[in-house]
């Protein structure tokens, strides 16, 4: 009998790419989403779409019936909130508890839990799987770190087979409804909408490579292990602009805005947000975290244990820029 995989967060960038890669392998896939009226991500895909909200345990129990492998990619993803403890940190912790308790109750054979590079120790570069995050530029980073720690506690208590995967900045095609933070940055560059060069550096990875790494983790991973799914080098926004220029001559290269000036603008943005109740244009923690950052990764564990081999990041950036140039975002 063909085994069934459930992908939570299946309409998101990573989740939707994962669904497509699983289907290309001939897998039977159930897609968990929060909005059953938004089915564009699944047009022409031979998959089942069901309601699955990480804050609604009953929906998870229903979605997991008959499932063999759970790929948990859903999360409450936002960098800012007026009540970050409740709406970002606690919401993700509650979602983790719900998803793993439901997995245990439904007898899920394998859980591939998507964490983040946010849960890595940045004090040691290249970063590897041996440390945990201590520097959190925004509440989402703390939420991912603390949620993975909770996941390991629950997996041990509940006797679950589980691995965690820790992607870096995911980019790539199949973007619906809204853009991820990293795809949004590339979109602003290719559409000449970036007002200044923030001089940030990121570790970029293609969504399809992360998807393939997740499948390898389910097939070859060892329960109890963490696997970084990233590329190796750190790529600056300046380099991304240079790549964009080779693809689209005339792409603007706005000047670098000094870190100190960005922090002043972030303080002003925070003041405006306190009045408008809208997210700030700049977040001071993000500026301190990403300005001239070194996001070099050690991916040897996933490479050796799983056979993970991502495309070079500059190729991933080119593919994403070409995709975004045709999209109406």
> Using one digit for the tens of pLDDT, what is the confidence trace for 7-32?
999 999 999 999 999 999 999 999 99
Return the CA Rg of the chain: 19
Q: In this structure, which CATH number among 1.10.10.60, 3.40.50.720, 3.40.630.30, 2.60.40.10 belongs to the domain 4-179+203-234+296-315? A: 3.40.50.720
Residue 2 has pLDDT above 90, yes or no: no
The backbone torsions φ and ψ at residue 32, rounded to the nearest 5 degrees and listed phi first, read -95, 125
Residue 174 has a pLDDT of: 95
For residues 221-249, average pLDDT: 98
Name the band, by pLDDT with cuts 50, 70 and 90, for residue 256.
very high
Strands 201-202 and 235-236: antiparallel
Segments making up each domain of the chain, as ranges: 4-179+203-234+296-315
Q: Where are the alpha helices (DSSP H) in the chain?
A: 13-24, 57-63, 84, 91-105, 139-158, 181-190, 207-220, 237-247, 259-276, 284-290, 300-306, 313-324
* Percent of the chain clearing pLDDT 90 (strictly above): 98
- Among 226, 201, 225, residue whose Cα is nearest residue 296: 201
Asked whether residue 82 carries a pLDDT value surpassing 90, the answer given is yes
Mean of pLDDT values over 111-130: 97
Please state, rounded to an integer, the average pLDDT across all residues of the chain.
97
* pLDDT for the residue numbered 177: 86
Enumerate the β-bridge partners of residue 164: 113, 226
pLDDT at site 198: 97
At 51 the three-state DSSP class reads: strand
Render pLDDT for 149-207 as a digit per residue (tens, 0 to 9). 999 999 999 999 999 999 999 999 999 988 999 999 999 999 999 999 999 999 999 99
What pTM did the predictor assign? 0.97
Residue 133 has pLDDT above 90, yes or no: yes
> pLDDT digits over 269-321, tens only?
999 999 999 999 999 999 999 999 999 999 999 999 999 999 999 999 999 99
């Amino acid at each position: 009998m063909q085994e069934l995989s459930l992908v939570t967060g299946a309409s998101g960038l990573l989740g939707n790419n994962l669904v497509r890669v699983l289907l290309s392998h001939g897998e039977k896939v159930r897609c968990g989403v929060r909005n059953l009226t938004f089915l564009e991500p699944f047009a022409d895909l031979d998959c089942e779409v069901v309601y699955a909200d990480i804050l609604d345990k009953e929906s998870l129990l229903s979605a997991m019936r008959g499932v063999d492998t759970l790929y948990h990619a859903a999360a409450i993803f936002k960098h800012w909130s007026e009540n970050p403890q409740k709406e970002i940190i606690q919401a993700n912790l509650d979602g983790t508890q719900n998803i793993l308790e439901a997995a245990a109750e439904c007898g899920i054979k394998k859980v591939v839990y998507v964490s983040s590079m946010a849960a890595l120790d940045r004090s040691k570069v290249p970063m590897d799987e041996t440390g945990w995050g201590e520097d959190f530029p925004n509440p989402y980073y703390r939420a991912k770190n603390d949620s993975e720690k909770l996941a390991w506690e629950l997996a041990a208590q509940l006797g679950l087979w589980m691995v965690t995967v820790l992607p870096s900045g995911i980019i790539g095609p199949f973007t619906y409804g809204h853009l991820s933070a990293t795809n949004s940055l590339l979109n602003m560059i290719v559409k000449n909408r970036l007002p200044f060069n923030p001089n940030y550096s990121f570790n970029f990875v293609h969504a399809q490579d992360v998807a393939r790494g997740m499948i390898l983790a389910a097939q070859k991973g060892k329960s109890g292990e963490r696997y970084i799914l990233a590329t190796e080098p750190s790529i600056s926004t300046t380099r991304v602009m240079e790549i964009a220029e080779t693809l689209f001559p005339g792409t603007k290269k706005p000047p670098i805005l000094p870190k100190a000036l960005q922090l002043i603008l972030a303080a002003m943005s925070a003041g405006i947000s306190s009045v408008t109740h809208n997210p700030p244009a700049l977040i001071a923690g993000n500026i301190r975290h990403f300005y001239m950052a070194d996001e070099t990764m050690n991916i040897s564990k996933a490479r050796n244990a799983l056979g993970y081999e991502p495309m070079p990041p500059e190729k991933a950036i080119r593919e994403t820029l070409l995709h975004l140039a045709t999209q109406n975002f």
